[in-house]
């Protein structure tokens, strides 16, 4: 990454350093550091979330232009309800403001919105904003902008197990035929096939944990952690993180000499 940043190249030159055939199909990002960004500037935490929304807009367009197929953003976890009411209320308003201003640009960039999580537990206004954005972008055929909203990895696995168990009890599925593909299909990322699993996971702000995010899907993902706070995360940061990804040797359990 240092090599990527240290050279005095313009953005076009930096983009050209990436191997197009190795652009990750699916990038997942844990957008962390909004609160710390605001605190450093003596601003309320919600100011960090507001600036973080602008970063989402920028990174979405950059990823789409690079040829990424799916961009999954961890927007609100099932644990985030524990935060102060004022902050939660603001976060529930964000999708309304975000989609109202950004959907036209998403359509212009041929980006389709998908949202995974327990949407029915969100406030009605948030649900409406989500479903309206999904409908308005449904004809787009380019990158999928996939928000994990009121999402938790363990809860997702429980839901998948319940779904599979229900099919078994109704004699629609035999226990012996429960495979990884069956599990994949019953997870919330099933709709993203064939790009269910992220190739690259990025977490901003210096934290190095996955925080109950995509516990099944991250089995063979490459992890890149950056100290950059999410509101400061830029196109250059994304290019650098993808550059790091492209230097990795992904063998999926095989020996290097066996890789095809």
**Region for residue 225 given its phi and psi (left: phi exceeds 0; alpha: psi -120 to 50; beta: otherwise):** beta
Whether residue 13 is predicted with pLDDT greater than 60 in this model: the reply is yes
Q: Which residue has the tokens 């990454």?
A: 1
Q: What six digits make up the tokens of 221?
A: 């993902």
Whether residue 4 is predicted with pLDDT greater than 70 in this model: the reply is no
**Segment among 10-14, 124-128, 238-242 with least mean pLDDT:** 10-14
Judge contact between 93 and 52, C-beta under 8 A: no
79 annotated binding-site participant: yes
Closest CA to 222 of 187, 239, 197: 197
Q: What angle is formed at CA 62 by the lines to CA 94 and CA 129, rounded to 5 degrees?
A: 25
190 annotated binding-site participant: no
Domain membership of residue 118 (yes or no) is yes
Rounded Cα gap, residues 17 and 11, in angstroms = 10
Domain membership of residue 235 (yes or no) is yes
166 annotated binding-site participant: no
User: Catalytic one among 6, 12, 16, 32?
Assistant: 32
Check residue 108 and report its DSSP letter: H
Q: What six digits make up the tokens of 134?
A: 């999904």
Q: pTM for this structure?
A: 0.93
What's the structural domain count of the chain?
1
Q: What six digits make up the tokens of 189?
A: 């990322």
User: Catalytic one among 25, 80, 109, 212?
Assistant: 80
Kindly report, residue by residue over 94-137, the tens digit of the pLDDT.
999 999 999 999 999 999 999 999 999 999 999 999 999 999 99
36 annotated binding-site participant: yes
Whether residue 86 is predicted with pLDDT greater than 80 in this model: the reply is yes
Rounded Cα gap, residues 214 and 166, in angstroms = 22
Which strands, in side-by-side order, build the sheet including 144-151? 112-116, 144-151, 70-77, 26-30, 200-203, 222-225
Who wins on pLDDT, 182 or 12?
182
- Looking up residue 124, the CATH number of its domain turns out to be 3.40.1180.10
Judge contact between 217 and 198, C-beta under 8 A: yes
Whether residue 17 is predicted with pLDDT greater than 90 in this model: the reply is no
Q: Could you confirm whether 80 is annotated as catalytic?
A: yes
Q: What six digits make up the tokens of 113?
A: 């919105």
Q: Say which residues have a Cβ less than 8 Å from residue 14's Cβ, sequence separation at least 6.
A: 4, 236, 239
* pLDDT averaged over every residue in the chain: 93
The predicted structure's pLDDT at residue 1: 53
Domain membership of residue 11 (yes or no) is no
Kindly report, residue by residue over 243-258, the tens digit of the pLDDT.
999 999 887 766 665 5
Q: Span 46-53, mean pLDDT?
A: 94
The predicted structure's pLDDT at residue 11: 82
The predicted structure's pLDDT at residue 194: 96
Domain membership of residue 1 (yes or no) is no
**Segment among 64-73, 179-188, 245-254 with least mean pLDDT:** 245-254
52 annotated binding-site participant: no
Report residue 203's pLDDT band, with 50, 70 and 90 as the boundaries: very high
Domain membership of residue 29 (yes or no) is yes
Domain membership of residue 253 (yes or no) is no
Structural domain boundaries enclosing 224:
24-153+197-204+212-246
Q: What six digits make up the tokens of 162?
A: 């319940």
Q: Could you confirm whether 197 is annotated as catalytic?
A: no
């Amino acid at each position: 990454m240092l090599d990527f940043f240290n050279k005095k190249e313009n953005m076009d030159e930096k983009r050209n350093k990436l191997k197009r055939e190795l652009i990750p199909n699916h990038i997942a990002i844990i957008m962390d550091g909004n609160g710390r960004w605001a605190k450093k500037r003596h601003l309320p935490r919600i100011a960090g979330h507001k600036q973080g929304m602008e970063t989402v807009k920028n990174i979405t367009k950059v990823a789409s232009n690079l040829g990424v197929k799916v961009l999954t953003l961890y927007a609100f976890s099932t644990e985030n309800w524990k935060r102060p009411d004022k902050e939660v209320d603001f976060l529930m308003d964000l999708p309304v403001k975000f989609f109202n201003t950004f959907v036209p640009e998403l359509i212009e960039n041929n980006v389709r919105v998908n949202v995974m999580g327990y949407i029915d537990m969100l406030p009605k206004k948030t649900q409406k904003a989500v479903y309206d954005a999904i409908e308005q972008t449904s004809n787009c055929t380019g990158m999928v902008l996939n928000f994990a909203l009121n999402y938790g990895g363990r809860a997702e696995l429980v839901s998948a197990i319940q779904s599979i168990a229900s099919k078994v009890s109704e004699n629609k599925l035999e226990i012996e035929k429960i495979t990884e593909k069956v599990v994949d299909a019953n997870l919330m990322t099933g709709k993203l096939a064939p790009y269910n699993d992220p190739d690259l996971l990025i977490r901003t702000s210096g934290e190095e944990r996955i925080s109950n995010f995509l516990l099944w899907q991250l089995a063979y993902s490459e992890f890149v952690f950056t100290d950059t706070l999410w509101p400061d995360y830029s196109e250059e940061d994304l290019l650098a993180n993808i550059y790091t990804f492209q230097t990795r040797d992904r063998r999926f359990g095989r020996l290097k000499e066996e890789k095809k």
